Amino acid sequence: PLKENGTEQIIEQPIAVLVYNGQQFNVPLKCYYLDNLFEFDGDGLDGCLRFIPTIDGQQGNPLGAGLYLSPKVRVTLFSRLFLFNEDSKYFKLVYDDSKGMPLAVYNGRLIGPLKIWEISYPDNLVIPKEYYSEVLPDPRVDRPMQ
């Protein structure tokens, strides 16, 4: 929902519309991202809505689409670095072509920028021995998908 604030519009806490067994439920989302991360207290769905623009021909809408990030996806390194543009002590953004190719829906297709980070490993990083093993902890991950 949008709220008028004098000369600008403010996005209030988004509401997810969920349907189960034909019954509709309106559940508040606990966060959204639009140039910055906005988080809300209280009850609600722990997922997050990442607004992205849509571009159709010569027409653009800065709030035209959104990506729903589940609670598990929301906290991943990918989401924090790529989708939320978070700074990190160990990852330094060294290349970003977002100015020329933003994350957007372009003529119905999801497009996005190329981003490259330089990694600075901490001096006290300990790598478990099993990471060097040639035996997978779960052999099912090596089977082809069906």
Each domain of the chain, given as residue ranges in start order, spans 2-123
* E-state strands within the chain: 2-5, 8-11, 15-20, 23-33, 37-39, 45-56, 59-69, 91-96, 104-106, 109-111, 115-119
98, pLDDT greater than 90: yes
Strand partners, 8: 5
At 51 the three-state DSSP class reads: strand
Q: How many C-beta atoms surround the C-beta of residue 41 within 10 A? A: 7
Instruction: Please tell me the pTM assigned to this model.
Output: 0.79
Of the pLDDT bands very low, low, confident and very high (cuts 50, 70, 90), residue 132 is confident
108, pLDDT greater than 80: yes
Dist. CA 97–CA 51, nearest whole Å: 19
**What is the pLDDT averaged over residues 99-103?**
90
For residue 49, what pLDDT is reported? 95
